C-alpha cells in the first residue's frame, strides 16, 4: 500500500497513522451502547452482563485502559456474570474523550474529573437495578482504568473491592483505597513492576488490605488475547481466577 522509498508515500503513511490515532482516542470510545434511558442525564454507556438465573447479585464495573474497551474486557465481564455478578464494561470516555498516555498538565485533570463522574454515574445506574446488591460493588481496571479504579474505590462507599491489572499510578492516592488486588507483569515496559511492588508495600505499611501477584516474563496487557505480542495465556488464566476469588471474598461474604 505504501512505498517507503517515496516521500509522497511516507507523507500519506503519516496521515494514515494520524487518522488511526484520532479514531482510537475520539471516535471509537463513543461506539458503545447507552445503558440508561434517554431521559436520564448524564447517560451511562457500556455493555451490561447479567447472570442467567434470576436473583440479587453483587455488581462489578470494568474500566478499560487508555486505548479504550478491549475484547478481553468484555470476556472477563462475561466470565464474572457466569460467577454471579452483574457486570458492566463501562466506556468512561463517553462524552469526555480519551487522552494520550503521556499527556500532562491541566488537560489530564479535566479528563479525570469527567471519567470519575462517569464511573460514579455507573454506580448509581447499577444501584437502580433490582437485581443488584446496592452496597456490594467492585471495580476492575486495566492500566489507566486500573489507576482510576483504585483512586475511586475509597471515595465511593458502596465499592468494597478493587482489582487493578498493570495499573497506572498517576492519579492514585494510597490513603483512600478499598481492599486491592494488584496484578502485574515483570516485563511491563510501560509501568515498571518495581513501582507496583513499592506501592503494594506502601499500602501494607499504612494499614491497607492489599494482595500482589507479579507474573514472571509477562508484559503490559498480558490478558489481551487479541494482542499476540503481549498475550500470556498462563498469566491471563491465573489473573482471571485470582480476580474471581478476590471479588468473592469481599463482595459475597458478610
Helix axes 106-127, 144-153, angle to 10 degrees: 60
* Per-residue pLDDT tens digits for 102-153: 555 566 777 889 999 999 999 999 999 999 999 999 999 999 999 999 999 9
Do 191 and 167 form a contact (C-beta atoms < 8 A)?
A: yes
Quote the pTM value. Answer: 0.85
* Per-residue pLDDT tens digits for 23-69: 443 333 334 578 877 777 678 999 999 999 999 999 999 999 998 99
* Per-residue pLDDT tens digits for 79-93: 999 999 999 999 999
Q: Give me the domains of the chain, ranges plus CATH numbers.
A: 1-31 (no CATH), 35-251 (3.40.50.1820)
Residues in contact with 249: Cβ distance below 8 Å, sequence separation at least 6, in sequence order? 161
At 179 the pLDDT is: 97
At 170 the pLDDT is: 86
Distance, in Å, from the CA atom of 200 to the CA atom of 213, rounded to the nearest integer, reads: 10
The candidate with the shortest Cα–Cα distance to 144, out of 190, 178, 107, is: 190
Helix axes 233-251, 71-82, angle to 10 degrees: 50
Amino acid at each position: 500500500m505504501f512505498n517507503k522509498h517515496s516521500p509522497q508515500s511516507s507523507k500519506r503513511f503519516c496521515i494514515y497513522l494520524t487518522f488511526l490515532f484520532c479514531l482510537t482516542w475520539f471516535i471509537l470510545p463513543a461506539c458503545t451502547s447507552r445503558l440508561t434511558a434517554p431521559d436520564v442525564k448524564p447517560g451511562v454507556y457500556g455493555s451490561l452482563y447479567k447472570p442467567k438465573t434470576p436473583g440479587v447479585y453483587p455488581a462489578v464495573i470494568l474500566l478499560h485502559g487508555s486505548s479504550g474497551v478491549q475484547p478481553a474486557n468484555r470476556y472477563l465481564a462475561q466470565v464474572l456474570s457466569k460467577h454471579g455478578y452483574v457486570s458492566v464494561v463501562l466506556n468512561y470516555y463517553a462524552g469526555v474523550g480519551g487522552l494520550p498516555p503521556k499527556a500532562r498538565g491541566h488537560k489530564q485533570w479535566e479528563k479525570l474529573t469527567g471519567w470519575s463522574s462517569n464511573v460514579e454515574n455507573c454506580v448509581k445506574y447499577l444501584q437502580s437495578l433490582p437485581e443488584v446488591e446496592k452496597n456490594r460493588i467492585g471495580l476492575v481496571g486495566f492500566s489507566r482504568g486500573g489507576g482510576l479504579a483504585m483512586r475511586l474505590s475509597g471515595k465511593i462507599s458502596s465499592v468494597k473491592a478493587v482489582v487493578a491489572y498493570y495499573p497506572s499510578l498517576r492519579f492514585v492516592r494510597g490513603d483512600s483505597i478499598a481492599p486491592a488486588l494488584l496484578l502485574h507483569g515483570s516485563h511491563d515496559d510501560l509501568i515498571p513492576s518495581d513501582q507496583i511492588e513499592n506501592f503494594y508495600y506502601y499500602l501494607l505499611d499504612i494499614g491497607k488490605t492489599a494482595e500482589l501477584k507479579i507474573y514472571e516474563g509477562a508484559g503490559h496487557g498480558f490478558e489481551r488475547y487479541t494482542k499476540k505480542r503481549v498475550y500470556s495465556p498462563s498469566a491471563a488464566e491465573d489473573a482471571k481466577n485470582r480476580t474471581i476469588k478476590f471479588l468473592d471474598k469481599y463482595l459475597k461474604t458478610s
